[in-house]
């Protein structure tokens, strides 16, 4: 098992530096599968995924902007380039006409990278910067083409700026399109440059696009037709802290230390109140917890919603309910190193086994800043 320090040492800091490809494969064994993963010959005439990955990394190192990055930024974009297609091996499909596709490989790749970097002990913020780049690495290709979600280029740029450093995303996208043999490379490079120019106009190439208020941003990213520069009227409502994180990550301890006087809505408490084991009649436990949350929201009372909220879909249900009552929502994502997590789970009074806990990792989507009024990404201390 490679450590984060060893992984970071793989990163070249200048165009002339050599890449230790053997060490890269040792650090990230899943990349070995890239050697035997085919790609659509129309868009990847260079061949397999590993060949493409090496070409992308070389193009990144040749980009003049790469050498001007700070060391941590070089680590972030280099590792994103190295891992940007890491999930193509598990998402490859061949249709009846022999056409090859890898649907969802960007999102799946972000999850795969997260698990590898988490086990290596990567800093939380930098790990997520890498994973977010992987998740959206092809977005610049299409921002000025027909949007797949029916969104304007302005919306796409503003939203992306809250998720990634757009300068790093531009570097990654340029390397990705140059590091392959395919038609229309020139047109795609124009789209990438247009995205960069729009980000400069919006003042968000290196920082999130400014909004008149957090409420304005939250509603905008949920589809409200408004302008970022004009504050939306805010109704007074509950102040809600929504906890996110794997079981045994230290959420109960954090809540007790930071919000000792607030009511807590908890699926675990609801499960205990109903006398249920973990995984047994989850619907009844959720119904009881939601009823308690509704009562607090109607009263405009502050509270903590303490649950795993691992996937964006599950978080969205809780956050949407709070927003429907005019609440201000702060997301707190808490995590612990894998050995600490498993040790804590073994030592606590729970019906959740370590095997069941680890099976939850495939749903682990760390929150994005666009999901709520505020976001904290925290690592809990060892007990």
Instruction: For 260-299, write each residue's pLDDT tens digit.
Output: 999 999 987 777 776 656 655 567 778 888 999 999 999 9
Burial class (CB in 10 A: 0-12, 13-18, 19+), 278: middle
Burial class (CB in 10 A: 0-12, 13-18, 19+), 269: middle
Strand order from edge to edge, sheet including 239-244: 264-266, 303-306, 239-244, 328-335, 374-379
Phi, psi of 68 (to 5 degrees): -85, 0
Q: Which of 105, 107, 57 is nearest to 77 (CA)?
A: 57
Predicted confidence at residue 146, as pLDDT, reads 62
Predicted confidence at residue 287, as pLDDT, reads 82
pLDDT tens, position by position, 103-134: 999 999 999 999 999 999 999 999 999 999 99
CA gap 67, 65 in Å, rounded: 6
pTM attached to this predicted model: 0.94
Q: What is the 3-state secondary structure (H, E, C) of 161-176?
A: HCCCCHHHHHHHHHHH
DSSP track, 106-121 = HHHHHHHHHHHHHHHT
Which residues of the chain have a pLDDT value below 70?
Answer: 15, 146-149, 274-282, 381-383
CA gap 124, 377 in Å, rounded: 7
Half-sphere exposure of 192 (CA within 13 A, CB side): 23
Tell me the longest C-alpha to C-alpha distance in the chain: 64
104 contacts 152 by C-beta, under 8 angstroms: no
DSSP track, 316-366 = HHHHHHHHHTT-EEEEEEEE--HHHHHHHHHHSS-S--HHHHHHGGGG---
Predicted confidence at residue 87, as pLDDT, reads 98
255 contacts 304 by C-beta, under 8 angstroms: yes
Predicted confidence at residue 200, as pLDDT, reads 98
Q: Which two tokens stand for residue 327?
A: 């609440």
The SS3 assignment for 309 reads coil
Q: Which of 116, 106, 160 is nearest to 137 (CA)?
A: 106
The SS3 assignment for 375 reads strand
The alpha-carbon radius of gyration of the chain (Å, integer) is: 22
57 contacts 179 by C-beta, under 8 angstroms: yes
CA gap 287, 277 in Å, rounded: 16
């Amino acid at each position: 098992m490679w450590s984060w320090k060893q992984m970071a040492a793989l990163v070249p800091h200048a165009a002339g530096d050599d890449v230790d490809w053997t060490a890269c494969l040792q650090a990230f064994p899943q990349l070995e599968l890239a050697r035997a993963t085919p790609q659509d010959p129309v868009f990847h005439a260079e061949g397999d995924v590993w060949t493409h990955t090496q070409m992308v990394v070389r193009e990144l190192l040749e980009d003049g902007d790469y050498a001007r990055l700070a060391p941590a930024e070089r680590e972030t974009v280099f590792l994103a380039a190295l891992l940007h297609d890491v999930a193509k091996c598990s998402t490859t499909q061949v249709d009846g006409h022999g056409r090859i596709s890898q649907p969802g490989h960007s999102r799946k790749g972000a999850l795969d990278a997260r698990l590898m970097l988490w086990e290596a002990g990567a800093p939380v913020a930098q790990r997520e910067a890498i994973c977010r780049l992987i998740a959206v690495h092809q977005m610049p290709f299409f921002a000025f083409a027909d949007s797949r979600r029916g969104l304007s280029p302005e919306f796409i740029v503003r939203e992306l700026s809250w998720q990634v450093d757009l300068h790093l995303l531009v570097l990654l996208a340029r390397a990705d399109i140059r590091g392959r043999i395919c038609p229309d490379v020139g047109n795609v490079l124009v789209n990438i440059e247009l995205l960069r120019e729009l980000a400069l106009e919006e003042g968000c190439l290196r920082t999130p696009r400014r909004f008149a208020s957090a409420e304005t941003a939250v509603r905008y990213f949920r589809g409200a037709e408004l302008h970022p520069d004009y504050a939306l009227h805010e109704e007074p409502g509950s102040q809600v802290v929504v906890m996110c994180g794997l079981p045994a990550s230290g959420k109960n301890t954090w809540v007790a230390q930071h919000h000792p006087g607030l009511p807590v809505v908890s699926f675990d408490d609801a499960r205990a109140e109903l006398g249920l084991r973990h995984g047994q009649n989850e619907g009844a436990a959720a119904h009881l917890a939601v009823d308690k949350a509704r009562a607090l929201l109607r009263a405009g009372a502050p509270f903590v919603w303490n649950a795993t909220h691992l996937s964006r879909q599950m978080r969205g249900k809780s956050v949407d309910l709070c927003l429907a009552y005019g609440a201000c929502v702060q997301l707190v994502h808490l995590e612990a190193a894998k050995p600490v997590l498993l040790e804590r789970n073994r030592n606590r009074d729970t019906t959740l086994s370590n095997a069941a806990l680890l099976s939850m990792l495939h749903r682990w989507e760390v929150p994005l800043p666009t999901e709520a009024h505020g976001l904290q990404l925290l690592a809990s201390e060892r007990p």
